[in-house]
Amino acid sequence: MTSIELRLPPDYRAASLRKDSLAGLTAVPKSLPPKWFYDAQGSALFEKITELPEYYPTRAERSILQAVAPDIAARTGAAVLAELGSGSSDKTRLLLSALREAGTLRAYVPVDVSESALIQAGDSLAAEYPGLAVHAIVADFGLDLGLAGDGTSANGDGTAGPRLVAFLGSTIGNMEPAERASFLRRVRAQLRPGDTFLLGTDLVKDPAVLVAAYDDDAGVTAAFNRNVLSVLNAELGADFDLDAFEHVALWDARNEWIEMRLRSTAAQPVRVRDLGLTVEFDDGEEMRTEISAKFRRDGVRAELAAAGLAMRDWWTDANGQFGLSLSAP
Ligand code: AVJ
């Protein structure tokens, strides 16, 4: 019952990595987008991050879903769960199980840039949920949500069941406000009457707690951060010396986001063979590799409203660390 639909051109990964790297490494200040953290090694490091004592967001979001997945199933009556940036589809099981219990579930539509992650997750979910149609879509939700004409609009009898679109993990925090606004408008444009949108957002809290979550004692986040340099070395023939860059995590109070950077510990040239480019780093120069915005309920409500989505429900975990909202057109 698993199908896979490719919505990306065959050389999309290589071409967009080249484009992003050229733009980011020649900009002032330098930056690289966080999507390039996630090769096999980076995805494994992210999985380790989610188990660190300091990194609370994954546990907090899971505890909310454990508590409210049955409510979400009852309120949405969803026949289709579409998940943007599904990755390993871990927390998805809580939603799928609740929708199956409610008797409405027909299909799961994971959307991710990684075809291998989709195949792995899709196969195991199809086995765990007999009768579930898994229609995986390889797309970059930064460009195309991949949901238009996803083959699930008609359920065989001409009826279209309600669709729940989920974007979990506070991945939206990787976007700046203007990008978030256009992303949410694109989500809104894919929703029909009766469809709903489930959004996970990490919340503003004590900066010491936030910084610790992005600068753990075991150094896993530091390794995850430096891994973007390994990706450029492996895929663009660059010669970054990973030992010559330090992990930096700071709280930007004005923008209310965590920023991760890599700080060059020496003046050094870096050659990027496939770009025909040599980039000079100054001693102490910092390159931004990620923002992870933190939210407040009223801000989430306002951003959703600006995109034409009305917040219907808002849940947090017992410690008030993470928020989950359900909205609808
Ligand atoms: C997967 C983007 C939500 O911002 O917290 C974890 C990635 N970066 N530690 C986040 C991340 C450093 C994570 N997101």
Q: Is the pLDDT of residue 216 over 50?
A: yes
The closest alpha carbon to 314, from 295, 329, 301, 305, belongs to 301
Q: Label residue 116 by pLDDT band (50, 70, 90).
A: confident
Average pLDDT over residues 283-293: 98
* Residue 90 neighbours by CB distance under 10 Å: 15
Looking at every residue in the chain, the average pLDDT score rounds to 94
Q: What's the 201 CA to ligand 1 centre distance in angstroms?
A: 11
DSSP 17-63: HHHHHHHHHHSSS-B--GGGG-SHHHHHHHHHHTTSSS--HHHHHHH
DSSP 93-107: HHHHHHHHHHT---E
Helix, strand or coil, per DSSP, at residue 14: helix
Average pLDDT over residues 59-84: 97
DSSP 126-176: HHHSTT-EEEEEE--TTT--S-TT-S-SS-SSS----EEEEE-TTGGGGS-
Provide the percentage of residues in the chain whose pLDDT is more than 90. 86
Residue 1 is predicted with a pLDDT of 66
Average pLDDT over residues 236-244: 98
Q: Is the pLDDT of residue 88 over 50?
A: yes
Average pLDDT over residues 111-129: 89
* Least confident window among 19-23, 86-90, 190-194: 86-90
Average pLDDT over residues 133-142: 90
Cα angle at 43 between 226 and 282, to 5 degrees?
15
Average pLDDT over residues 209-228: 98
Which residue is closest in CA terms to ligand 1's atom 8?
214
Residue 149 is predicted with a pLDDT of 67
* Residue 222 neighbours by CB distance under 10 Å: 20
Residue 158 is predicted with a pLDDT of 41
Average pLDDT over residues 40-64: 96
- Take residue 267 and report the two structure tokens written for it: 């003046």
Q: Is the pLDDT of residue 3 over 50?
A: yes
Average pLDDT over residues 250-258: 98
C-alpha–C-alpha distance, residues 119 and 3, integer Å: 9
Residue 217 is predicted with a pLDDT of 98
Q: Is the pLDDT of residue 261 over 80?
A: yes
* Paired sense of beta strands 277-281 and 268-272, if any: antiparallel
Sign of CA dihedral 258, 261, 40, 27: positive
Q: Which residues approach ligand 1 with their CB closer than 6 A?
A: 49, 57, 169-171, 173-174, 214, 221, 224, 290, 292
The answer to whether 1 touches 134, Cβ cutoff 8 Å, is: yes
DSSP 283-316: TT-EEEEEEEE-B-HHHHHHHHHHTT-EEEEEEE
Which residue is closest in CA terms to ligand 1's atom 12?
214
Q: What's the 300 CA to ligand 1 centre distance in angstroms?
A: 18
Cα angle at 254 between 228 and 281, to 5 degrees?
35
The closest alpha carbon to 303, from 233, 193, 201, 190, belongs to 201
Helix, strand or coil, per DSSP, at residue 119: helix
Q: What's the 171 CA to ligand 1 centre distance in angstroms?
A: 7
Sheet (strand 107-112) strand order? 2-6, 133-138, 107-112, 80-84, 163-167, 196-202, 322-328, 310-316
C-alpha–C-alpha distance, residues 118 and 193, integer Å: 28
More confident residue, 89 or 164: 164
Q: What's the 202 CA to ligand 1 centre distance in angstroms?
A: 10
Average pLDDT over residues 3-22: 93
Which residue is closest in CA terms to ligand 1's atom 14?
171
Average pLDDT over residues 128-151: 84
C-alpha–C-alpha distance, residues 309 and 84, integer Å: 17
C-alpha–C-alpha distance, residues 286 and 262, integer Å: 6
Q: Is the pLDDT of residue 266 over 60?
A: yes
Q: Label residue 86 by pLDDT band (50, 70, 90).
A: confident
ipTM of predicted complex: 0.99
Average pLDDT over residues 37-61: 96
Q: Is the pLDDT of residue 182 over 70?
A: yes
C-alpha–C-alpha distance, residues 45 and 247, integer Å: 15
* Least confident window among 65-69, 139-143, 260-264, 324-328: 139-143
pTM of the model: 0.96
Alpha-helical (H) ranges within 140-269 are 177-190, 207-213, 220-236
Residue 143 is predicted with a pLDDT of 78
C-alpha–C-alpha distance, residues 295 and 184, integer Å: 15
Which residue is closest in CA terms to ligand 1's atom 5?
292
First-to-last CA distance in the chain? 30
Q: What's the 219 CA to ligand 1 centre distance in angstroms?
A: 15
Which residue is closest in CA terms to ligand 1's atom 9?
214
pLDDT digits (tens, 9 = 90+) for 316-326: 999 999 999 99
Atom of ligand 1 nearest to the CA of 34: 2
